[in-house]
Structure 1
Amino acid sequence: MSALPSLTIEKDLQPSLQEEVYVHDVYNEIAPHFSQTRYKPWPIVETFLKNRPKYSIGLDVGCGNGKYLNVSEDLFIIGTDRSSGLIQCGQEISKNQYNLGIADGLSLPHPNNMFDFAISIAVIHHFANENRRVQAIQHILSKLKQKGQCLIYCWALEQENSRRGYKEGDEQDILIPWVLKKNQKKAVKKGNGKLHNDNCNDRKILGNDAKLDEDEEQDPPEETKYRYYHLYKKGEIAENALATKACKIVDQGYEKDNWWIIIEKI
C-alpha cells in the first residue's frame, strides 16, 4: 500500500484556525474509521503504565478512543480528547466504563498538582506552532504532582525506513492524508446533537496505518482528509519540554516512527 503525498501547510493561517480546520474537524469526520485502527497498545506506553505504582491516578491527554485506559486495572486514568467523535467511540467500545471527557489540550479542566502521571500519545505534534507545543507540555505538567511523570509521543521526521519515507531536510510542518473508504460510515449527529456511529468496534476495516494482505482488494477512496502534523526531529521534544522550565528528562527514545520522552515535574 503506497502512501498518498503530503501537503505543505498554509503558514499564513492563524495557529488556532489551522488546528480547527486540519485537526479538530478532520478527526470528527474520520473518528469511526480512525478508531478501528487504534486498539493495540504500543509496548513502551504499556510498560510505562504498568510500571506506575498501584492505585496511581493519571491523565491520558488526547486519549482518542481510550485504548490505553484499560491497560492496567491497578490505575485510575481519566481520558480527554478534543474530538467528540473519538470520545463517542471510546464510550461505545467500553460500554461507558471509561472515564472520558471532551477537552482541549491547552485548557484541561482538571485541578492543578493533582495527578501522579500523564500520557500524551501522538497529540503534541498537532499543535500548530512551537509556542503552542511548549504550552501544551507545560499545561500537562501543571496538572501533575511534584515528581509526577509524563510520557509523550510525537511523529518523527526521521522515517526513512517507513512507507512514508520522511527524512532529515524535509519540511516539518505538513498535512498528512487520511482516506475514508466507501463502506466506512462517518460520525453523524443524532437529534440530541451527539455524534454517533454504528461501527466504532468493527476492526475488520483497516485504516491508513494498518497493513493490507497482498491479495486483499481495496475499495476506491471515498474522500481524502488532511491532518496537520509537526514532524519532530531528534532532540526536539526534549528542547520543547525543557523550555517549560518545569521538568527534567527521565528517558527518551525512538519507536515506530515516533520520538518519545518521559519527563518528571520539578
Structure 2
Amino acid sequence: MKEPVVADTLQISEADKEEQYVHAVYNEIAPHFSDTRFKPWPVIERYLLALPKGSLGADIGCGNGKYLGVRTGDIFMMGTDRSESLVEICRERNYECLVSDGLDLPYRDGAFDFAISIAVIHHFSSDDRRRAAIKELLRIVRPGGTVLVFVWAMEQNGRRKFEEGTQDVLVPWVIPAGSKIETKDKVFHRYYHLFCKGELESLFQQVGGNTLEETGYDRDNWFVITRKE
C-alpha cells in the first residue's frame, strides 16, 4: 500500500479541497471502487435488520448502494451520493438514488425514520463542515428516529498506518496496471480526517438534540448510533 500524505498543509479552501480530493476522485474511481464494495459490515447489517417493518430511511453517501440492498422486502431506503458515477451504478441496480451534497440534502425535516452515513463524514475538511453534515442527518430524521454514522479511526488495527497526531491526510487509491485500459498503476488521493477516540461522539453532543445509544470501534472505524430527541 502506498503511504498517505499529510493534507493539512494544502493551501486551498475547504470546499476546493473536497472537490479536488473527494468528489472528483470518486467520479474517476467509481467502477473500481464499486468492485471492492459488496459485503455489508456486521454492525450496519445488524442495525438495518433490527429496524421495524415499514421503516423509511436514507443512506447519505450511499456509494454503490451496498446497504440499499440489505433489506428490500419490508423497509424502504433512498440513497444520495455526491458522485454522479456512483449514483449511476446505483440506478443500474434499480435503487432509488440521487446526486446530492451531504451539507444540503433535498429532503424535508423529519422525513425519515432513520438515516445512515457510512464512511462519509471523514471526507469533510473542517469541524464546522462535519458538524453541519451531522445536523443535516438529524434534520431529515423524525423525533424518535435514529442515525448511524461510521468514520475512519486514527487508531488503526489493520493494514493502514498513520503518523500519530496527523489527522488530516490524503490516502492513495490505486487502480492497478491491467485494469481496463490502464498500462501502469494509476494513483488517486482522497482526503480524510481521521477521528480520534471520542471525537465523533463529541460532535454529536455539540450539535445537540440527540441521545447517544451506542458507540464503538469496528474494522478500523468509530461509529455512533443516536436517537433524535
TM range (shorter): over 0.9
**Deviation of residue 113 (structure 1)?**
1.0
Point out where structure 2 has 5 or more consecutive residues left out of the alignment. none
1:222 alignment partner AA = D
2:89 is aligned to 89
1:58 alignment partner AA = G
Q: Distance in 2 between matches of 1:221 and 1:156?
A: 31
Asked if the contact 1:124/1:136 (under 8 Å) is kept, the reply is yes
CA gap 1:22/1:120 in 2 versus in 1, 3 angstroms: same
Matched, 1:147 2:110: no
Picking from 110, 119, 122, the partner of 1:122 is 119
1:104 alignment partner AA = D
Q: Which structure is higher in RCO with an 8 Å CA cutoff and minimum separation 6?
A: 1
1:208 is aligned to none
Q: Distance in 2 between matches of 1:11 and 1:261?
A: 29
Asked if the contact 1:179/1:221 (under 8 Å) is kept, the reply is no
**Deviation of residue 13 (structure 1)?**
1.6
Q: Distance in 2 between matches of 1:180 and 1:246?
A: 42
2:59 is aligned to 60
**Deviation of residue 70 (structure 1)?**
1.4
CA gap 1:221/1:250 in 2 versus in 1, 3 angstroms: farther
Asked if the contact 1:138/1:246 (under 8 Å) is kept, the reply is no
2:81 alignment partner AA = D
Asked if the contact 1:32/1:185 (under 8 Å) is kept, the reply is no
2:3 is aligned to 5
Aligned residue for 1:30, secondary structure, equals helix
Aligned residue for 2:188, secondary structure, equals strand
2:153 is aligned to 156
Asked if the contact 2:68/2:77 (under 8 Å) is kept, the reply is yes
Q: Distance in 1 between matches of 2:63 and 2:101?
A: 12
1:51 is aligned to 50
Q: Distance in 1 between matches of 2:82 and 2:173?
A: 18
Task: Give a deviation string over 1:20-40, Cα, whole Å, max 9, x none.
Answer: 000000000100000000010
Asked if the contact 1:115/1:145 (under 8 Å) is kept, the reply is yes
1:239 is aligned to 202
1:180 alignment partner AA = I
Number of residues of Structure 1 aligned to a counterpart in Structure 2: 227
Q: Distance in 2 between matches of 1:243 and 1:80?
A: 25
2:199 alignment partner AA = E
Show the 5 A alignment for 1:106-117.
Answer: 106-117=103-114
Q: Distance in 1 between matches of 2:10 and 2:188?
A: 18
CA gap 1:234/1:22 in 2 versus in 1, 3 angstroms: same
1:256 is aligned to 219
2:158 alignment partner AA = S
1:202 is aligned to none
Task: Give a deviation string over 1:246-265, Cα, whole Å, max 9, x none.
Answer: 21101010000000000111
1:27 alignment partner AA = Y
Q: Distance in 2 between matches of 1:17 and 1:54?
A: 41
2:130 is aligned to 133
Larger radius of gyration: 1
The alignment's TM-score, normalised by the length of structure 1, stands at 0.82
2:176 is aligned to 181
Matched, 1:75 2:86: no
Point out where structure 1 has 5 or more consecutive residues left out of the alignment. 187-218
Asked if the contact 2:4/2:162 (under 8 Å) is kept, the reply is no
2:186 alignment partner AA = E
Q: Distance in 1 between matches of 2:80 and 2:187?
A: 26
Aligned residue for 1:146, secondary structure, equals strand
**Deviation of residue 166 (structure 1)?**
2.9
1:25 alignment partner AA = A
Aligned residue for 2:129, secondary structure, equals helix
**Deviation of residue 222 (structure 1)?**
2.6
Percent identity over the alignment is 44
